[in-house]
A and B are shown apart, each in its own frame.
Chain A
């Protein structure tokens, strides 16, 4: 009987953290895709050979990151096998998290000597408000997967220290090295292992240092293939004061809610006071245990500092989910403190319970709110994408224009080209929608999707485009209604020659669209709007062939409204130029851009005179 009870108790101990996680993060478990997810899912479009697969897995992308397991393989294999059915992705994400929870409990039990503390640490972790994004946004799976690598490597180290079996040591190495394919944060693992051995198993300290060169080598190789950003949000800043400020901020977001957002109408000062109080309590407990000769408390703090360290130099890119892995150290410490206090007198016990309750009351509402928000946004994205699939199925040869798009829908469901996954190469938004979308130039260009009033009117009249209202969950075809209303007659400021809707703005000399560009012969014209204000330039990007360049630089001549704007000497295959526009063009409803090149070529088997191909012609 007692054996059966022990078995049930053991099952409850190990299974309850995953169940609590699922309960707390139920919205995250049901979330669909959004934002970057579509770009990662879309990688599969380009894989038609082993070489392309290799590039897709290992080429630096998105701020120079190389995360083959947690991003590339996760999304590409997922999309290949399950398409946009989100359930398998969610199962993988949560299964990874469940494994991490079990490891947190297991490691916590060893660090604190208390099974209760191990279990409580999992509760504190799952409640933390930094956990919502990693569990609710598929693109942040790298955090979840890296957590498993980090915890598994450390658990194997502990097993090695307990048993002395070489197999655990080798397995730790393997997990550590593989972890680099998950997230760059793995670079800190040697420091984590060294910190633990230095504090708790000094005899093995030097041995753990052997892993450091691997991290250094990874850093150097990664930096060589994906140089660090010198400017922008991802630029690194190493001033000590700045690093400390960022550390304090992440500490506060770990002990309290992210962004210190209050819940239940709590005044901000009270929130800050509670965070300070909890911080003092944790520090007091750590000092107390340290004085008692317990070095594990220092390791818990070291875990937080070491794991958060790689993102501290990102002064201008603070993110609410960055504390997700570092906070595990504080969860062990906090759980340890509560369990220790529980064994003391009623006053200490009550204070510890109050502290734990204060923490949960601060973080759980924020975590749940973030999960609900994420879920709601992904539902909107799902309605849009699946509705677009329906519209495209009905009208495969017409271009789809979306009306009623707001900022949230644009940035979370449109900007990353979810439409590519449906075989829709061009998706448009009406000028009325574009006018209401917040501009985030660092993230993307609304203009890429905008169809000008004049172009839209003409294409609606010719039946080449259809307008769908996306304000409601079900897309509604409002083409006739939209066309019957007065709209702007503006020509576009941005001409993508591969855009099928702007064909009438190109002179007949242009050749047919070739996926994302068009060739012109030696000379061709483009009609577009004049610059709306002074100081703007005509931007051109395109390409010429090596065959053309073999005879020396290709000269591109640009004239607007009959006046030469300038010439450019093209010496490499791809080019982009800016030509300043004269003030005399400002406000003109229509200008003719005349493009000519001095040298054409003929591709083998192609009768056409090929001058130059253009990807974009824009006034900006």
Chain B
């Protein structure tokens, strides 16, 4: 019997070590697996001058007011929406042309009768336009060189009216945006 008595502390210690080992996992999970590098898309994509609505990679340039892509091609906007674009070459000297391709759906005209779209570039207001018929449009405006500086330009759009949430649709809907771009003058 003597060996059993003398061994018991070792057994207890062994049990405690095993128990401690088993109880320790949660805190060191990150170190428990070797990490393999992945092949990533461009790490830091250059800001684009043109943002088609159906390119998820460019979604970070849609600052606010855009809903998810629909039919793999377009997005509903809210009443106000903003986008960040890269100015074309020499825009700071020559200015640029802003183009918003969008459509005004039937339900918008039926509900609101007319919508007016305004835009401003870094605080400089551009001439507004009013749409009284449904259909596809391009909102095209020249931007003065004085409004452009640096590597990016923020464009803020605003509609005077938008469709309020109704029924199952809980979003406030403006127009259907297809793409937005800054081109050379």
Contact = CB atoms under 8 A, between A and B. Distances in A.
Interface string B29-66: 11111111111110000000000001111011000000
Interface in B11-45: 18-19, 21-26, 28-41
B92 interface: no
B72 interface: yes
B35 A389 contact: yes
A146 interface: no
B39 A475 contact: yes
Interface residues of A, number: 51
A303 B54 CA distance: 69
Given A45-B26, A457-B69, A461-B56, A77 B31 contact: no
A463 B32 CA distance: 28
Interface stretch (A390-398, A434-442, A606-614): A390-398
A383 B36 CA distance: 7
Contacts of A386: 33-36
Contacts of A474: 36-39
Contact of A48 (B19, B26, B55, B56): B26
14 contacts: A77-B21, A79-B25, A80-B24, A84-B32, A383-B36, A387-B38, A389-B35, A390-B35, A422-B33, A461-B59, A461-B75, A474-B36, A474-B37, A489-B71
B35 A45 contact: no
Contacts of B32: 79, 82-84, 421
A461 B73 CA distance: 11
B38 A385 contact: no
A73 interface: yes
A83 B31 contact: yes
Contact of A389 (B18, B25, B33, B168): B33
Given A80-B22, A385-B33, A484-B54, A508 B39 contact: no
B37 A390 contact: yes
Contacts of B75: 461
Interface string A471-485: 000111111100110
A81 interface: yes
Given A386-B34, A389-B36, A486-B72, 18 more contacts: A48-B23, A48-B26, A73-B18, A77-B18, A79-B32, A80-B23, A82-B32, A84-B34, A85-B34, A389-B34, A390-B38, A457-B68, A460-B56, A463-B56, A463-B60, A479-B57, A484-B54, A484-B55
A479 B36 contact: no
What are the nearest 7 A-B pairs in CB distance? A83-B32, A461-B69, A386-B36, A44-B25, A480-B57, A476-B39, A483-B56
B97 to A, nearest CB: 26
A87 to B, nearest CB: 12
B10 interface: no
